[in-house]
Amino acid sequence: MIRPVSLGVPLRRGTKMRNLLRLLLIAGFASYSLSDPFLIEVTEDDGDDGDDGYGGYRLPGIHIPSSYIINLQVSADVFSGDSTAFNGTVVIDFQVTDETDNIQIHAPVDVDAVSLQGDGQAINISDYSSYNSTTAILTITAEEVLTTAVNYTLTIEYTGVLRSSNMNGFYRSEYYESDGTKHYLVTSKFEPTWARYAFPSFDEPQLKARFTLVLIYPRNLSLSALGNTPQQSVEDVDDEYEKVTFGESPVMSTYLVAFIVSRFTCSAGANLTDEVPYQVCSRPETEGDRAWAVEVGPPPNEGPGGLY
Ligand SMILES: *[C@@H]1O[C@H](CO)[C@@H](O)[C@H](O)[C@H]1NC(C)=O
Ligand SMILES: *[C@@H]1O[C@H](CO)[C@@H](O)[C@H](O)[C@H]1NC(C)=O
Ligand SMILES: *[C@@H]1O[C@H](CO)[C@@H](O)[C@H](O)[C@H]1NC(C)=O
Ligand SMILES: *[C@@H]1O[C@H](CO)[C@@H](O)[C@H](O)[C@H]1NC(C)=O
Ligand SMILES: *[C@@H]1O[C@H](CO)[C@@H](O)[C@H](O)[C@H]1NC(C)=O
Ligand SMILES: *[C@@H]1O[C@H](CO)[C@@H](O)[C@H](O)[C@H]1NC(C)=O
């Protein structure tokens, strides 16, 4: 079950952004044209790479992920405003529907290392330097042909850059307490195609999988982490970092992965169902303003699963 979380991220700019986005969307639909790569008619893929009617923007659709383990690490320098760097390791289980020695994956990050296993056996990688910055697609080439009915595990270690002037992808935001202290937080906004900026992924909505999120952040800054699912464990990594592991998500699209690492605290409301708690989280200073949201927030318990 997905745990809904109301976030008290500073809203002024977000609201403006959303209104602007709405306007852009309306403008976008008004100028709908076949040359727009995101709004073209859906046609059968002829399987010819780069000549598939999508201008090379679509993944080939032959790598089918089943699960991701996403490890993201953010240093103290980010929470002091001195850095926008982060690093991560993503582990993806997938199968192929056609024989191929290539893996095409969205990866607009700096890839430090790639490894691949087929049914637990290491497979050498001959190349992962072929990256197209227009389509954000990285091509990884294996030394052997990948075949159907084998479970492959792809591991990518990488470094990335948090956005700090746009509130999308994996971004750093900031706010002031009333005494003038400035605090930083990091959080996500992945819809429609921003998940790839946080973790290399088959970042198309139909390529659904289960996600396990692991967030690693400084121990000593009063930070805590929220994600789609309840926390499963909180451990100290070393003197500097602590690590939160969240429960595995249901099968869902990449863009639904969501998280925040901040100094926010939470007020619990009545559970939505036996399994799904409800809480409202915000800056500690605004704790007194949460009561109303705690009371009226839970949506009517309707539809399959009660929530959506
Ligand atoms: C990257 O992809 C775009 C869109 O398909 C294509 O026009 C361009 O030639 C590609 N660039 C390289 C270096 O292959
Ligand atoms: C981030 O980089 C550090 C230093 O190389 C490394 O020890 C750590 O495991 C990396 N974290 C992740 C989540 O990959
Ligand atoms: C993988 O590469 C290593 C080093 O180049 C080589 O020794 C090994 O034989 C290769 N393994 C396979 C299965 O090709
Ligand atoms: C591959 O993984 C699936 C579950 O994702 C499992 O049912 C199947 O037994 C695995 N196959 C092999 C050969 O390990
Ligand atoms: C927290 O730890 C980091 C890294 O060890 C250090 O740079 C920072 O000054 C510490 N902050 C506090 C508030 O102790
Ligand atoms: C609410 O849900 C949580 C998490 O599933 C559970 O531990 C707790 O017992 C529930 N509380 C009530 C009052 O049902």
Other beta carbons within 10 angstroms of residue 46's beta carbon come to 9
Structure tokens at 308: 């959506």
Pocket flag, ligand 6, residue 275 (CB < 6 Å)? yes
- The residues spanned by each domain of the chain are 1-55, 63-263
**Alpha-helix residue ranges (DSSP H) falling in 64-172:** 76-79
**What is the β-pairing status of strands 210-218 and 182-189?**
unpaired
Residue-level pLDDT at 276? 82
- The whole-number pLDDT of residue 189 equals 97
Is the pLDDT at 41 greater than 60, yes or no? no
Choice from 3, 274, 278 to test ligand 6 binding pocket (greatest atom count within 8 A of CB) = 274
One CATH from 2.40.30.270, 3.30.70.120, 2.60.40.1730, 3.10.450.100 for 63-263: 2.60.40.1730
Q: In 148-262, at which residue ranges do the beta strands (DSSP E only) sit? A: 152-161, 169-176, 182-189, 210-218, 224-227, 231-236, 241-246, 259-262
Q: How confident is the model at residue 211 (pLDDT cuts 50, 70, 90)?
A: very high
- Structural contact between residues 6 and 289, judged by C-beta atoms closer than 8 angstroms: no
Residue 27 has pLDDT above 70, yes or no: no
How does the average pLDDT of the chain come out, rounded? 85
For the four alpha carbons of 143, 64, 86 and 136, in that order, the dihedral sign comes to: positive
- Compare 251 and 5 and report the one with higher pLDDT: 251
Q: Whose CA is nearest to atom 12 of ligand 4?
A: 151
239-266 confidence digits (pLDDT tens): 999 999 999 999 999 999 999 999 999 9
> Whose CA is closest to 261, among 165, 194, 172?
172
Q: What would the mean pLDDT of 275-282 be, rounded to a whole number?
A: 89
Q: Which position has the higher pLDDT, 21 or 167?
A: 167
> By the 8 A CB rule, do 297 and 278 touch?
yes
